[in-house]
Structure 1
């Protein structure tokens, strides 16, 4: 965006700091705002009919959520829980809609950003349901590493991933069990593709990981 458009958007943003364990919103609550992660980490979850929690995805700095609340009067489809404390920015529908109605360039930028996010979500969701567990794991590791690259912008950090959740939650993201996840991580480590230390994964051979992911 231009400096002028950026200044206009910043004028309607409010920011709040959330500590670990706080909820930004709950599933089923009325939704009327767009939220942007400035720093920290957020987990989106849903509960099934039996009350079991399912992790949908993690939101990193630069990610946004609740965008459909700006266009539709709907309830939140998920709960947003803070995994790592940080600043979350918020824009209300009543403030944002008049801006995009008057500014076609801003409206186009917003549309393009939403389209890109939907494409990434579709590609990730599709691969996590169709592919074998090993390929799903490789794709998720590459997805998380790309988030680190976006956040820090340096090659050394790009190859290091801090798993953003407990092993059972991380396993649920690729539709497998914690035991299977451990076996797959151990296999990749034996192959010298990654190195695992507690919840930190270092990618040693990015090309090999891309081959397993079949990108």
Structure 2
């Protein structure tokens, strides 16, 4: 968990429950809260001019949702959409800033977390420019596994459907399915009960 729940609550955070397809915030809206996922999954997405969905990330328990926007005066460049019943902690921007001012170590931890997230995001985006489907898919898998405490081979259950992988890589679903099967033959990942383990 990025910030301990008790600390967030002590600074005035509220516990909010959401359901599939709920919108936490829309692209173009102004950031007013720090959100941290207690349980559930949230996708960050954008629709291009043709209406095609591009998924930028799928966030799970313990992660924050677009916290970097609280450090600048910009609107959200993405939508945050709930994928499954979820519980989030919500803390106002003013109280979030006060918490950071009063807790230097939390501030440093957030800086470290943001730096790591940015680093892995850059690597993923570099991989997404590849013409090779396996490089794109492995880039997304590495990015999501980077948030897991368990880094051994096949220990990470990928929280993405084949369709979501396609939306994150710009590949067709059929290409994703075929490439995942090839990656399994190459022992890069395992498939158990239709779930991908990386």
Considering only aligned residues, what root-mean-square deviation do their CA atoms show, in Å? 2.9
Report what 1:210 is aligned to: none
CA, structure 1 residues 106+196, in 2 after alignment: closer, same or farther (shift >3 Å)?
closer
- Number of residue pairs the alignment of both structures matches: 194
TM-score, reference length from structure 2: 0.81
Report what 1:44 is aligned to: 44
Report what 2:90 is aligned to: 90
Does 2:191 match 1:195? yes
Give unmatched runs, 5+ long, in structure 1: 204-215
Report what 2:173 is aligned to: 178
Which deviations, in whole Å up to 9, do the C-alpha atoms of 1:47-98 show, x marking residues without a partner?
2223322111111112212323322233211111111212111221111222
Report what 2:8 is aligned to: 9
- SS of structure 2 residue aligned to 1:38: strand
Give the number of the structure whose residues are more often helix, by fraction: 1
Which shifted more, 47-56 or 16-25? 47-56
Query: CA contact under 8 A between 1:146 and 1:158: conserved in structure 2?
Result: no
Which of structures 1 and 2 has the bigger CA Rg? 1
CA, structure 1 residues 154+183, in 2 after alignment: closer, same or farther (shift >3 Å)?
closer
Query: CA contact under 8 A between 1:34 and 1:69: conserved in structure 2?
Result: no
CA, structure 1 residues 10+156, in 2 after alignment: closer, same or farther (shift >3 Å)?
farther
